[in-house]
Structure 1
Amino acid sequence: MHAQRTLLAGAILSALSSLSNAQTIDPTLQTIVVTASPFGANEGDQILAPAKVLSGDELRNKLGGSLGDTLSHELGVSSSAFGAGASRPIIRGLEGSRIKILQNGMAVSDVSGLSNDHAVATDGPTAKQIEILRGPAALLYGSGAIGGLVNVVNDRIPTTLAPVPTGEAEMRYGTVDQAKNLSISADTAAGPIGLHVDGSVRNSNDYKIPEARVQGDPNSGGGTLPLSFSRQNSLGAGASIIQDWGHIGASVSEVKNRYGIPTLDGSQIDQQQRRYDIDALVNAPFAAFETFKFKVGYTDYKHSELDLRDVPQTNFANRSLETRSELTHKPIAGFRGTFGLQTENTNFSALNATDGGPDTVPVTRSTANAAFLVEERDFGPVRMNAGVRLESVKRTPTGNLERKFDLASYSVGGLWTFIEGYGAGATASVAQRAPTADELYSSGPHDSTATFDIGNPNFAKETSRNIELTLQKNSGIVRWKTNLFQTKAKNFVYGQIAGNTVDDQGNPGGTLKERIFSQAGATIRGAEAEITYNAHGNGTSLRGFADTSRGTLDDAGSLPLQPATRFGIDIGYKAGAWRSSASLVHALQQERLASFETSATPGYTLLDANLSYTWKVGETNVTWFASAKNLLNQDIRLSTSILKDVAPLPGRNLIVGLRTRF
């Protein structure tokens, strides 16, 4: 079997390499604007926010069934992998509420940050671009974004007028789970009014697994992973008035999701979110300012956790109203800057589905008001950037202790271009985070994670001190970067699994593990390196990367669910209408365990490949594509997944599809 895998990998890589005999290199690299950056800077030109942007064919080739799956191969990013339906990105070993998920620059406002079994309520198939920001500038979108943020851009509110109707449609089929996907988006204009519509449908069955379900237990069954199915659909529409002075528009969207939770006991989640957004931009609003931006987002989110008989056990709900305004001033003494205000009002609850009692988390109203400022200036070959965010957060639960947190987060960084195209940089920041409602007020069963959660309303605010050093080459056909980072946190909140089990009322002798939220000092250290050759040009392209991080609790061992050390290589080839690529990622064994974790995660090797061909039919581009995931059919378990011992990733998967752009 090992020889067969080696021959298969070698054959694929050899075939791709042989295509490069007649290559022509295009040194022109694609310019991608990072919309979540305070200055709208280009990818690779970030100081306070090292960025990665997925768009175009790269995004389509990496698109998975969830946001975490889509981003799991990016530098410093792993996935929570809670089955096919729920998988959230983990950045540099930090997860949950420390990673903020945005849609078009506004909070998604679901409850995926509270628990790994909750899916992110945003739609990947209709996304035009997905941005990853790591570092201090992410704090401008929320003091809790210590690890970074992910911004899903779908252009639902048009900002430019389409001269002719344009759009994209795609359908694909996957063999490992009989997944059937269909997505479409279209833009047009009626005079000064831009119009947009998009939608998607995804249906997948339980996926196939390569070996036994339970790690180390050959008698635990195999074939397919029970309750790994997913059903999702989305629909959105938007319109805006676009003129020389700027634009103002609105959109409405809805996402519905039903998926299984592949724990040994098993459960299901039925999720729905409706969202309304307003977006406005005014050019030159005042004499000293370049732009004024204003956004409003209202979200009505709910999901029910169901047993295997489709009977609801717990109902989660979150209604949120967010506003955000930004003023970007014209250069003053060489400084460019943005000042802004942000407000957020939410009502969150996790109630017993039978009697509406606050068995898990009581109805909690949270308000947040923040002001932020970021400034940037060049001092010869050195570009400096500094930012500050002041925020007040209040949590008011029904029948429990009201808490108020005053937060101050700030950052400073610089990049020194010591030779043209080469830079050395450093950033330092202090970030403060208010504990979430579930960390403060949980006191009840959480069936999908098979835990009985216990919060602490007396928690202090969490404070982290972060430093990052970088060395990079950011121009030319060959580019590379290396990052070293460290985060030291005071009052770090984590869920500690106790040894005893209880029932739904917290009485001894049940099947739920007690998960007690605790606070302690924590340290996360890590390193990343990446080198690319001809990243966006024609001909052969190459990428090599490696990342590692380690999180520890002061005098208490490792943080739970830490990512494994990884390294990998990608090879691609573009010639005319043909595109091909292959990637090989190897993860080492992860045996740095928290005191309550019981099993190490074996290493694995993941081999993927893509092939596509595009031809023109009139004014329409038509692309057929084929992707192969986990070609070696390895039994892969992620150390960042709570379900690593009972829910391996899918086995070998062949995906075929057709995409049109018009």
Structure 2
Amino acid sequence: MAFQRQRIASAVFSALAAWSVSAVAQTADTSATPAATTATPAAQPALQPIVVTATPFASQEDVQVLTPAKVIAGDELRNKLGNSLGDTLSGELGVSASAFGAGASRPIIRGMEGPRVMILQNGMGVSDVSTVSNDHAVATEAATARQIEILRGPAALLYGSGAIGGLVNVVNDRIPTELVGKPTGTVEGRYGTVDGEKNTSFSLDTSAGQIGLHLDGNYRDTDNYKIPGNVRQGDGSSASGRLPNSFTHETSLGGGISYVTNWGYIGLSAATLDDHYGIPTDEKSFIDLHQNRYDLDTVVNNPFAGIEKFRFRMGYTDYSHIEKAEDGTPNTVFANRAVQTRWELTHAPLAGWHGTFGVQTEQSNYSALTPDTGVSELTPPTRSRSFAGFLVEERQFGQVLASAGLRAESVSRRPDSGSGLPGRDFSLVSWSTGGLWTFQPGYGLGLTYSFAQRAPTVEELYSNGPHESTSTYDIGDNQLKKETSHNIELTLQKTEGLVRWKGNVFRNKVNNYIYGRTNGQVDDTGTADPDGEFTQRFWSQGDATIRGVEAEVTYNWNGEGMSGRVFADTSRGTLDNLGNLPLQPSTRYGIELGYKTGPWASGVKVLRAQKQDRLASFETYETPSYTQLDANLSYTQRLNGVKLTWFALARNLLNQDIRLSTSVLRETVPLGGRNFIVGVRTAF
């Protein structure tokens, strides 16, 4: 016991030492259905099940009813990989994308966007400013990910009360947690015709004694992408051929080192990301983004009697991006420096309950300033702090698996004293509970209920100025109240056999829902002007209701021979007595067929999206229906002990003019036209 205490003490002291260095530096600077789960014929060997890492129970994907999950990994992830996280995930059940050109697109889950969808990297927040505006890219790279997880439900409370819509966790295993006997890794190169995409990514793991080492990187370069028609649909006078200012140039490099032994591990990682991309608006501005990130992660197994695992994580992020005019003149400098910590203890079963409890803290300094004067351009420098305690538990009651989560959190916002704006404090309580009744083997009926609260973000409270890249003049409200969400979901599923299926019905009632309400054109001072270049946008509140249905049926999914999938999702969001919520997703349905034999694998997917005419009172553009046809073909061979996969992907084969109803630029920014992607990847 003394030796175990010594081990955990050493780990904690090491973590605290690293925390103090980051804190001093900051002060001085004042991972919905189991489509990827194996469903092979009895004669075929079963594939390894995918494990969801962003849960306290290392649960498999096919039992994630209480935290409805989709895990994308392996060839499925490589085939779906896009230029942005939103593009990569936009075909999943209940998931759309903000689609602000090729460089910036966040995932939208069940009509919830921005701060209501938390983006994690290896279980820690990305700490960028992508929640501030749709033109800001997510500062994490899917091309180097081992898997991407989409979660909702009780487990989301481990990571944040604000994850009302859910969370996305990008897992790249940058800090090694196990030792490999010999060097292993992957390398991939691809080329795309729609934008001249040149993309190379790699990931490498090795070990020396009890030291694990990891290195990964990505390079992507694309030109302005081709579009089927005109920028404005039916307007022959608008640009055609290619979408102006839709280029991207991105590089990332990360590495990690850890000491791994029988009691656990302790490791560090560092990464840098540079992203340069165009904003496809009339102003033709562009963004230069840079982020440095440092993480510490330590796990001690069985540190005390009754405790199965102690885990401490800390992250320090230094993020900035400059929005520049077409001629390169800087307009606004956005910056965010954040320190996060997470302390988790997983306890042994107690009275049948098994779970994790812990504490999470975060401190960030955010600003949006004029580059030449350093004065507030859009929002004043603001320091935010949060402190949260959480608990997630699970227990089996006969045929019923029950799960529950609780999170209490305090959040403070403190704008610069020179701004004259008031500070705000919020006390948040969130909880969730649910159960899965396995009424016969392979069949389950699940019911979950979640109560979640979210504090208004800095930009929602304190914005007051022009935002060049979105052509909006944003006005916050420093008296906004916290959001409160009441979500109920019913799930019926079949998880065994060649044929599997799942259906979800949900209803989310959100009190004090915060949304952007537009109100005519203004000039750069906020004065009303019918010919002004900015659209005035007020952050407002109202009670909202979002409800929807998702369903999927699969046959032999990812198995040898023929496989198939039929899917559909629909949701609708309304403001009480004020009509529809803005930027709501279209109703979608489709079919996907696949065939595998020996080294060959192929697939085809047809997605149909209906016209979206359920508009908010201040919206005017109805997005038309479209049909998206995609296909893939690959051949895998062994060459000198190396697994070599040649692949070809085809996207939007029908060359449809596709406009997403969830994009604020849907009138002027269609998705790319017909695209052929060819490439090769190796695994060793």
TM-score, length-scaled by structure 2: 0.92
- Aligned: 1:405 with 2:411: no
Partner of residue 57, structure 2: 39
Per-residue Cα deviation, 1:353-411 (whole angstroms, up to 9, x for no partner): 23111120100000000000011111100111111000000000012100000000001
Taking the TM superposition and a 5 Å limit, the aligned residue runs for 1:194-273 are 194-273=212-291
Taking the TM superposition and a 5 Å limit, the aligned residue runs for 1:90-105 are 90-105=108-123
Q: Deviation above 3 Å: which 4+ runs of structure 1? A: none
Taking the TM superposition and a 5 Å limit, the aligned residue runs for 1:511-522 are 511-522=533-544
> Is contact 1:429-1:467 (8 Å) kept?
yes
For structure 2, the residue ranges without an aligned partner over 5 or more in a row are 1-40
Residue in structure 1 matching 2:558, options 533, 536, 539: 536
Stretch deviating more after TM superposition (109-118 or 434-443): 109-118
Partner of residue 614, structure 1: 636
Partner of residue 29, structure 2: none
> Is contact 1:27-1:537 (8 Å) kept?
no
Quote the offset at 1:429 in angstroms: 1.1
Quote the offset at 1:574 in angstroms: 1.1
- Provide the rounded CA distance (Å) in 1 between the counterparts of 2:563 and 2:212: 37
- Provide the rounded CA distance (Å) in 1 between the counterparts of 2:524 and 2:300: 54
For structure 1, the residue ranges without an aligned partner over 5 or more in a row are 1-22
> Is contact 2:626-2:657 (8 Å) kept?
yes
- Provide the rounded CA distance (Å) in 1 between the counterparts of 2:65 and 2:81: 27
- Aligned: 1:571 with 2:593: yes
- Provide the rounded CA distance (Å) in 1 between the counterparts of 2:63 and 2:223: 42
Quote the offset at 1:44 in angstroms: 2.0
Residue in structure 2 matching 1:586, options 608, 614, 621: 608
Sequence identity, in percent? 61
Taking the TM superposition and a 5 Å limit, the aligned residue runs for 1:108-507 are 108-398=126-416, 399=419, 400-499=421-520, 501-507=521-527
- Partner SS state of residue 44, structure 1: helix
- Provide the rounded CA distance (Å) in 2 between the counterparts of 1:25 and 1:116: 48
Stretch deviating more after TM superposition (42-51 or 407-416): 42-51
Stretch deviating more after TM superposition (157-166 or 128-137): 128-137
> Is contact 2:65-2:491 (8 Å) kept?
no
- Provide the rounded CA distance (Å) in 2 between the counterparts of 1:324 and 1:130: 21
> Is contact 1:264-1:646 (8 Å) kept?
no
- Partner SS state of residue 372, structure 1: strand
- Partner SS state of residue 229, structure 2: coil
Partner of residue 26, structure 1: 44
Quote the offset at 1:27 in angstroms: 6.3
- Provide the rounded CA distance (Å) in 1 between the counterparts of 2:131 and 2:632: 32
Quote the offset at 1:28 in angstroms: 2.1
- Provide the rounded CA distance (Å) in 1 between the counterparts of 2:92 and 2:679: 24
Per-residue Cα deviation, 1:36-74 (whole angstroms, up to 9, x for no partner): 012110002113310000111000011011100100110
Quote the offset at 1:216 in angstroms: 2.9
1:504 aligned partner, one-letter code: D
2:618 aligned partner, one-letter code: F
- Provide the rounded CA distance (Å) in 2 between the counterparts of 1:597 and 1:353: 33
> Is contact 1:273-1:299 (8 Å) kept?
yes
Per-residue Cα deviation, 1:590-623 (whole angstroms, up to 9, x for no partner): 0000111111000000000000101111110111
1:468 aligned partner, one-letter code: E
Per-residue Cα deviation, 1:327-373 (whole angstroms, up to 9, x for no partner): 00001121101101000000001112231111201000000000000
Partner of residue 55, structure 1: 73
Stretch deviating more after TM superposition (44-53 or 230-239): 44-53
- Provide the rounded CA distance (Å) in 2 between the counterparts of 1:109 and 1:370: 17
- Provide the rounded CA distance (Å) in 2 between the counterparts of 1:606 and 1:253: 36
> Is contact 1:27-1:476 (8 Å) kept?
no
> Is contact 1:179-1:205 (8 Å) kept?
yes
Residue in structure 1 matching 2:83, options 46, 59, 65: 65
Quote the offset at 1:25 in angstroms: 6.1
Quote the offset at 1:24 in angstroms: 9.4
Partner of residue 10, structure 1: none
Quote the offset at 1:29 in angstroms: 4.4
Two-structure CA RMSD over aligned residues (Å):
1.1
Taking the TM superposition and a 5 Å limit, the aligned residue runs for 1:597-636 are 597-636=619-658
Per-residue Cα deviation, 1:93-120 (whole angstroms, up to 9, x for no partner): 0000000000000000001111110000
- Partner SS state of residue 359, structure 1: strand
- Provide the rounded CA distance (Å) in 2 between the counterparts of 1:196 and 1:495: 42
- Partner SS state of residue 61, structure 2: coil
> Is contact 2:604-2:632 (8 Å) kept?
yes
- Partner SS state of residue 125, structure 1: helix
Stretch deviating more after TM superposition (652-661 or 28-37): 28-37
- Partner SS state of residue 459, structure 2: helix
Q: 1:487 to 1:455 in 2, by over 3 A?
A: same
- Partner SS state of residue 211, structure 1: strand
- Provide the rounded CA distance (Å) in 2 between the counterparts of 1:147 and 1:455: 22
Quote the offset at 1:134 in angstroms: 2.1
Partner of residue 16, structure 2: none
> Is contact 1:614-1:623 (8 Å) kept?
yes
Per-residue Cα deviation, 1:399-457 (whole angstroms, up to 9, x for no partner): 21000000000011000011111010100011000000000000011111100000011
Quote the offset at 1:505 in angstroms: 2.1
- Provide the rounded CA distance (Å) in 1 between the counterparts of 2:454 and 2:563: 41
1:144 aligned partner, one-letter code: G
- Provide the rounded CA distance (Å) in 2 between the counterparts of 1:540 and 1:215: 39
- Provide the rounded CA distance (Å) in 1 between the counterparts of 2:48 and 2:571: 30
- Aligned: 1:554 with 2:572: no
> Is contact 1:25-1:537 (8 Å) kept?
no
- Provide the rounded CA distance (Å) in 2 between the counterparts of 1:607 and 1:115: 30
Q: 1:136 to 1:557 in 2, by over 3 A?
A: farther
- Partner SS state of residue 525, structure 2: coil
**Aligned length in residues:** 639
Per-residue Cα deviation, 1:9-35 (whole angstroms, up to 9, x for no partner): xxxxxxxxxxxxxx9963624301100
1:245 aligned partner, one-letter code: W
Partner of residue 31, structure 2: none
2:270 aligned partner, one-letter code: V
1:470 aligned partner, one-letter code: T
- Provide the rounded CA distance (Å) in 1 between the counterparts of 2:683 and 2:611: 43
- Partner SS state of residue 75, structure 2: helix
- Provide the rounded CA distance (Å) in 1 between the counterparts of 2:506 and 2:279: 34
Residue in structure 2 matching 1:654, options 633, 653, 676: 676
TM-score, length-scaled by structure 1: 0.95
Per-residue Cα deviation, 1:277-321 (whole angstroms, up to 9, x for no partner): 000010001011100111000000000111100111011000000
Partner of residue 596, structure 1: 618
Stretch deviating more after TM superposition (528-537 or 506-515): 506-515
